Every structure is written in structure tokens, then in C-alpha cells.
Amino acid sequence: MIRAVVASLCVLALASGCSFLLDGPPSPNRPTQPPRCDGSGGAPLFDSIFAAGAAAGSVALLITPSVACSSSDHNCHELDGPFYLGGLLLLIPTAVYTGAAAVGFDKTCRCRAAIAQYDRHRLRTRPMNRRPP
């Protein structure tokens, strides 16, 4: 059981925080150039799903000893420590993924706003198509 928890934590640590790698939008004072940023919510959504999974795993590990053991079985409580430790350790990737998702959603929101600002600027400055007299 402990090996499975440690292996899960290693996998989560290696794949954590894709949203931290997203490019944010350029400065808002440069609407003449198209923004080069990622406005899709794929990476933050991925991080949110992993945060929810890690949180669910943490809660499951923290409540498992109290649900699995009856109060009269004293030998059952020998494994409480590893379950609690695993549950507490899973809170670390939960926090990392939650932070990554928050940063990622903020960056994608700002990117979409920069794209919309660029589109509005482009429409205002586009020459009108007029027929010659």
C-alpha cells in the first residue's frame, strides 16, 4: 500500500502544473500586434481534474482507517499511520495542481481579453472598402 502511494505521488509530482508553463498575454498597450499566447483552457482544466483527483485520494486515505476498522479490533489500527501520512502527502500535489489551475485560468482569461482587444483594434483601423467614383 505504501509503495502504491509513493508511486502515485511520484507520478503526480512529475506531471504537475502544466498551466504554470502557459504564456501570458503581452502588455495591454500593444494592440497593433496579434497576441502570442494560449487562450485555450485545456491545461488549466487538466490541472483542475488532477487537483480534484488528488483531493479525493487524500480524503479517501484520511477516512479509510476510521471506516475500515471497528472500535473493538485493536490490531486494525496498526496501519493508521501510513494511511494518514499518505492522505497528508497527497495534499501537496492537490495544492500544486490547484495553484497551477488558478494561474492557468487567469492567464487564459487575460489572453482571451488581449485577443479581443486586438480584434477590436483591427476592426477600427481597417480601411473601408469604397468603390472608386
Q: What pLDDT shows up at residue 51? A: 92
Which pTM does this prediction carry? 0.68
pLDDT by 10s per residue, the chain, length 133: 566 656 665 565 555 566 666 666 666 556 677 788 877 888 888 889 999 999 998 888 888 766 656 656 566 666 677 778 888 888 998 999 999 899 889 988 888 888 888 888 888 776 655 555 5
Residue 101 sits at φ, ψ, to 5 deg, of: -65, -40
Q: What pLDDT shows up at residue 16? A: 56
What is the gyration radius of the CA atoms in the chain, in angstroms?
24
Question: Which residue matches cell numbers 485493536?
Answer: 74
Cα end-to-end span (Å), the chain: 83
The domain ranges of the chain are: 52-69+78-123
